[in-house]
Amino acid sequence: MPEALSFTIPPAAETVTIGLFERAIQDVRRLIRDVDYAVTHETTGHRWVIAGLHSSAPTIEVRPLADGTATLETLTSGLSIIGRTEGTELPFRFTDDALDDLRRMRRLFQGRERAGRVTFATDGREIATISRDIDRRVERLLSGSYSALGSIEGMLEAINLHRTGTFTVWDRMSAAPVRCSFPKDPTWTERVKALLQRRVLVTGRVSYFRSGVPRSVTELRALEGSEGPPPSRKAHFGSIPDLTRGEESVSYLRRQRE
């Protein structure tokens, strides 16, 4: 099992500038934070420390202070798939937020102070190299995704009002953290805040990974507290063509877990 994660920043030019070094650390830290949240269900997550630092083609090794084995395994698995030329199934806790973090890393390969690539490794073994084609790699992993009008139910957490308003719902059926976008106006904002830490039913356009696990909700149409008996599953979940072969998604996911 991996004990630490390292990343190397070979520059496109002869040296790595302070600006590039700082941006790389920020981007990797954001990726670790989002995967850690999806794995631990804790907004604070683990505390990570620098375990090693090498100056030539700067290499930074980081590890969690507490037991972060599950987070490291998810990061290792997800980054390995990103680094391969084939394969489209991401690990369960490698969420939409983590994929957005990888897309954002494209900035590291632009401008005068840019990296040639960023290489990730665990226990001295290289697991992935990302470069300016990271957008294309992420889109490849999302091939086969599907969206439809529907609903998810779960605990509402992690409200973010920076730029686009978002909150996280921990989906009751899949136990996955699902990012939900909402209109950033006073009425919606107060509604979301009032339902923080409560079980809710979110209705809108639900996007799914190819596995059938929900990844995000956009075009929000309704947000309601859901403290009573669970709603009819048949009323709120559809089927995913080509994946479930017409079977309801809930039944399909339940059968996969049996």
Query: Which tens digit of pLDDT belongs to each residue from 206-216?
Result: 999 888 899 99
Domain 146-257 grouped into CATH 2.40.50.140: yes
pLDDT band for position 134 (50/70/90)?
A: very high
Condensed to tens digits (0 to 9), the pLDDT of residues 90-122 reads 777 888 899 999 999 999 999 888 999 999 999
Spatial neighbors of 160 by CB under 8 A, at least 6 apart, are: 166, 167
Condensed to tens digits (0 to 9), the pLDDT of residues 30-71 reads 999 999 999 988 877 788 999 888 876 789 999 998 888 999
Which residue ranges does the chain devote to CATH 2.40.50.140? 146-257
